[in-house]
Structure 1
């Protein structure tokens, strides 16, 4: 049975209400959201996230980390980060029972693929998209065994430890840095085979180390990653508004625009379609994903797989551009 939301589900904005809050660890607040009329919510698969539209107008993406079987609530968890752009602080400030929050989604660019065995690596709040994957594997008869390396600043900062400890069928290694130092992903990847799937979510530094290990040990396509931090300055994948000028047709709007070399496609599009959704502006969250009708996208995001890029059906317009002189979008 396919539980993925339809395109209409992913685009629809729903007013949900906070029905429960809980501190899962030091600085980590979980919010449980429900329809105010207790209507069922769209089903989702492990790895999915939703966009939360905060009262200030900020839009932030958070992984769903609750129960897949509970069709009436969504659970997210938010780390309060002092160097954020304000989203986490606002969630912690307004995240009280009874608060209404507009939510869009779910959507999933980090799905759990079939594999003979699994290795999971989480850094800090990066445990949130992995938790439903571990729960799915633990409670599905005949599922392969799995192992998790979960690193954090300290045990106090590592959320959902009790839930992880209760999961059968796998091995959980907690790695508090104040005791053990930085985690060594190569230890977890040492016993992988050609049929192992490796999932990693965490800060960019951890992802870079895991990618380096994967290049030496894993076949192409075995590593699946998701980041919650901005790419480093040396990362050349996301280059924003550079490169050549091109033309974009917005088919539904009936207009054609020029996108100069010095401006992003998103900025130009929003002059005509100001309601087009976006959040991170860095090609990480998928909020601005747009259907491509004609032309070839120059993909610069951190979400789409190589197969999805080759298919060319969608693009993240906050950072990606056009590889052809003209691009037609479903806007």
Structure 2
């Protein structure tokens, strides 16, 4: 855990604020790579993940951008309403689940709305290393697009294409951008689930290989849980069998039995709670594992995923 202070808070766009964080003694923060995020521990006990969007060479500060989500589970609402310049927070060291492939000949970056935060950091890194890339930034309107002025003033501004829904002439033609895939070109996308699915589906239609498609979700898609049933999990280390009711998550029930699994996002986005499965068939509901990894059925996210079989044997 690292204690930091909010050095500055700035409104970047409608509903989006940035928070500049630094150590109280101004000593260097842990190094990070493009695509990294930190866990922010809020005073009410919530833990939320936010991508770092400043240049990766900066060690004196971290910069995060936070969209106030109307469907907030408390994290973004708390930051927007209660966290101001001078306040102190506890954060984790950076983790990277969305890294750049530095061997790529060319990189295509796609950001939708607040998804610009990790993508902007990637653009900073790629520009710094003189790598070949282009960035497509899509938003509903100009007043909802954060960091636009920073991008316009950047050294890579000529490689950025901004697309606003309110300006039909600027709309992105994903099929055209993603035509003629090459084996040494990689795609990175972050933003709302529908936007990401459109970009990824367009790439697949054009023949892009899955190992060239990289993504990071900020929130899981809504799932109809009205038909969920109960099932059991077996703790491999003790042989204990625990019933999971239809209205409880695996991680919550295990915690009530004294079995603590590290957890952060509670939505199957961050992968913190990823647990090995020794027997049974998980009902995957996460956005962290790829389709190929889910098909192996040898791990799952107990914060949100369930079971298709009556019993799951977990490697805990």
Report TM bin, short chain: 0.7 to 0.9
Measured in 2, the distance between the counterparts of 1:194 and 1:239 equals 43
Measured in 2, the distance between the counterparts of 1:119 and 1:52 equals 29
Post-superposition Cα deviations, 1:102-140, rounded to whole Å, max 9, x if no partner, equal: 212422211111312111111100000111111111011
Cα distance 1:82–1:274, how it changes in 2: closer, same or farther (>3 A)? farther
Partner of 2:195: 206
SS for the counterpart of 1:221 is helix
The answer on 1:118 being equivalent to 2:107 is yes
Q: Which runs of 5+ in 2 are unaligned?
A: none
2:216 to 226, 245, 250: 226
1:326 to 309, 313, 316: 313
Decide whether the 8 Å contact of 1:204 with 1:232 is kept in 2.
Answer: no
Partner of 2:40: 52
Return the TM-score normalized by structure 2: 0.84
Post-superposition Cα deviations, 1:219-238, rounded to whole Å, max 9, x if no partner, equal: 2211111222331448xxx9
Post-superposition Cα deviations, 1:63-117, rounded to whole Å, max 9, x if no partner, equal: 1111211223211100122232232121112221221112124222111113121
Partner of 2:141: 154
Return the TM-score normalized by structure 1: 0.81
Measured in 2, the distance between the counterparts of 1:207 and 1:148 equals 14
Partner of 1:245: 232
Partner of 1:179: 167
Measured in 2, the distance between the counterparts of 1:20 and 1:57 equals 23
Decide whether the 8 Å contact of 1:297 with 1:327 is kept in 2.
Answer: no
1:74 to 62, 67, 88: 62
Measured in 2, the distance between the counterparts of 1:281 and 1:88 equals 15
2:273 to 289, 293, 301: 289
SS for the counterpart of 2:44 is coil
SS for the counterpart of 2:92 is strand
Post-superposition Cα deviations, 1:14-57, rounded to whole Å, max 9, x if no partner, equal: 22211121222222111111222333322221111111121222
Post-superposition Cα deviations, 1:173-209, rounded to whole Å, max 9, x if no partner, equal: 1111111275432222124323221111111111121
Q: CA RMSD in A?
A: 3.1
Decide whether the 8 Å contact of 1:53 with 1:59 is kept in 2.
Answer: yes
Most deviating of 267-276 and 217-226? 267-276
Measured in 2, the distance between the counterparts of 1:71 and 1:257 equals 47
The answer on 1:104 being equivalent to 2:88 is no
Decide whether the 8 Å contact of 2:220 with 2:287 is kept in 1.
Answer: no
Most deviating of 66-75 and 199-208? 66-75
Most deviating of 122-131 and 99-108? 99-108
Measured in 1, the distance between the counterparts of 2:70 and 2:290 equals 31
SS for the counterpart of 2:315 is strand
Decide whether the 8 Å contact of 1:289 with 1:314 is kept in 2.
Answer: no
SS for the counterpart of 2:167 is helix
Measured in 1, the distance between the counterparts of 2:226 and 2:30 equals 34
